C-alpha cells in the first residue's frame, strides 16, 4: 500500500473455528455495519449440494483455492467507504489454508490483492461454545491447531493480531469497535 493511501476499512474477524466469529458478525450487522459471511461455510454448502470435490476434509487444497476465489469476489463487491466492513474470514485465511495444504507461501498468493485493515481480530479457542456440525466436522484439537497457524501467519504477513476476550457478544462487539481507529 502506498503511504498516501488511507488504510483499508475492511476488517477481518478470524481465529479458532467455533470461537464465535459468526455470532460476532451478526451482532455487528445488527448495529448497522456491512458484513461478509465466511466463504468456507458457503463453499461447503455448495459442495454438499454438488459433487463434494471442494470439501476441506476431501481436498484441502481445492477447498482453499475455491475460498480464495470466493473471498476475492466478496472483497470486490464489499463497500469501501468511510465506514467499517467486517469479514468473517477472508483472502488471508484462504491463502494461509492453501499454504498449509500445499506449501505455497501465503505472501505469494496474496501479492496481487490489496491488504485488509492492519488490525485483525482473532477468536481464541473456547471449548464451552465449540460445536461440530455438517460444515465443521473437525474436532476442537484441529481447530486449535488452525488457530495457532492463523495467529502466526497473520503476524508473518504484517498484520496486528488482537485476540478477542471470551465475553458476552455485546462486549465483544464493543471491544472490536474500541480497537479500531
d(CA 102, CA 112): 19
- pLDDT classification of 46: cutoffs 50, 70, 90: confident
The whole model's pTM is what? 0.86
User: According to the model, what pLDDT value does residue 6 have?
Assistant: 65
Domain parsing of the chain, residue ranges: 10-178
- What is Dmax (Cα atoms) for the chain? 46
Least confident of 22-26, 33-37, 61-65, 129-133: 129-133
User: According to the model, what pLDDT value does residue 177 have?
Assistant: 97
Query: What are residue 90's phi and psi, to 5 degrees?
Result: 175, -160
Assess whether pLDDT exceeds 60 at residue 153.
yes
Those residues with Cβ within 8 angstroms of residue 2's Cβ, 6 or more apart along the chain or in another chain: none
The alpha carbon of 114 is separated from its chain's Cα centroid by a whole number of angstroms, namely 15
Alpha-helix residue ranges (DSSP H) falling in the chain: 21-30, 39-49, 60-77, 91-102, 106-110, 140-156, 169-178
User: According to the model, what pLDDT value does residue 2 have?
Assistant: 37
d(CA 115, CA 104): 18
- pLDDT classification of 5: cutoffs 50, 70, 90: low
Mean pLDDT on 127-143: 60
d(CA 17, CA 22): 10
Give one DSSP letter per residue of 25-78, joined into a string: HHHHHHTT--EE--HHHHHHHHHHHTT-TT-TTT-HHHHHHHHHHHHHHHHHHS
User: According to the model, what pLDDT value does residue 90 have?
Assistant: 93
Q: Which CATH class is domain 10-178?
A: alpha beta
Assess whether pLDDT exceeds 70 at residue 78.
yes
Query: Percentage of the chain with pLDDT > 90?
Result: 60
Amino acid at each position: 500500500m502506498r503511504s498516501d493511501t488511507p488504510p483499508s476499512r475492511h476488517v477481518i474477524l478470524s481465529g479458532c473455528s467455533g470461537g464465535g466469529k459468526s455470532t460476532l458478525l451478526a451482532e455487528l450487522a445488527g448495529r448497522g455495519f456491512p458484513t461478509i459471511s465466511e466463504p468456507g461455510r458457503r463453499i461447503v454448502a455448495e459442495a454438499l449440494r454438488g459433487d463434494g470435490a471442494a470439501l476441506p476434509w476431501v481436498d484441502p487444497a481445492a477447498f482453499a483455492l475455491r475460498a480464495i476465489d470466493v473471498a476475492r469476489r466478496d472483497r470486490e463487491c464489499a463497500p469501501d467507504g468511510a465506514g467499517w466492513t467486517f469479514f468473517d474470514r477472508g483472502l488471508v485465511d484462504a491463502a494461509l489454508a492453501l499454504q498449509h495444504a500445499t506449501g505455497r507461501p501465503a505472501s505469494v498468493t496474496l501479492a496481487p490483492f490489496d491488504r485488509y485493515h492492519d488490525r485483525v481480530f482473532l477468536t481464541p479457542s473456547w471449548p464451552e461454545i465449540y460445536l461440530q456440525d455438517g460444515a465443521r466436522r473437525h474436532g476442537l484439537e484441529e481447530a486449535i491447531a488452525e488457530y495457532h497457524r492463523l495467529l502466526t501467519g497473520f503476524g508473518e504477513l504484517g498484520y496486528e493480531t488482537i485476540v478477542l476476550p471470551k465475553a458476552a457478544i455485546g462486549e465483544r462487539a464493543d471491544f472490536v469497535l474500541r480497537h479500531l481507529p
